[in-house]
Chain A
Amino acid sequence: SQKIEQNSEALNIQEGKTATLTCNYTNYSPAYLQWYRQDPGRGPVFLLLIRENEKEKRKERLKVTFDTTLKQSLFHITASQPADSATYLCARSAGNMLTFGGGTRLMVKP
């Protein structure tokens, strides 16, 4: 089966620092990976998509990388703010559907 794993432990960082979240997948590389943000009691919200042939994608303070050798995607938030505190979900394409990781909770302290 096509698994996708994220660090289940919460990540605590200081405001202004760069947060880096990791997403690892097994077996073959997916055609693309997506990243979502989920706040408590809310539905996930799409942030970024990165394709297999792209090494890096940026959007404002967000950056995603895709390393097919390591079978890993990294999600960076630069100049983090307390408002960035949320759970971040990684999802891989698997046929015609998405398979989600368990998410990593990010806490940015002022």
Chain B
Amino acid sequence: DTAVSQTPKYLVTQMGNDKSIKCEQNLGHDTMYWYKQDSKKFLKIMFSYNNKELIINETVPNRFSPKSPDKAHLNLHINSLELGDSAVYFCASSRQGGDGELFFGEGSRLTVL
């Protein structure tokens, strides 16, 4: 039973395409996140949702659109992909509020050619 699962694990696509990454957590957590890890291994937060509501949106181009159909799912849709979007994208979840540890998925490696 994978706590936070994201698909696909690998995604190779051409510039200009639109793609989606899906994330599901079975931990009963209220808060979910998307992080981007670049080639230098820095993990940067992109979005955070609490009970399906957007609470953090960190200077991310509006080509990126998160969607949370329910509190167990947070999907990431990316329009008009660019070379600089190549990275590993991590989904994570935590209990609502404060200092809860983050539970991460295994990551989705996106390569834009």
Contacts and interface: CB of A to CB of B under 8 A. Distances in A.
Bind each other: yes
B56 to A, nearest CB: 6
Interface residues of A, number: 22
B99 interface: yes
Interface residues of B, number: 24
Contacts, number: 51
Contacts of A102: 40-42
A42 interface: yes
Contact of A41 (B92, B101, B107): B107
Interface string B41-57: 11111001000000110
Given A89-B43, A97-B56, A102-B40, A46 B103 contact: yes
Interface of B: 4, 33, 35, 40-45, 48, 55-56, 90, 92, 97-99, 101-107
Interface of A: 31-32, 34, 36, 41-46, 49, 51, 87, 89, 93, 96-100, 102-103
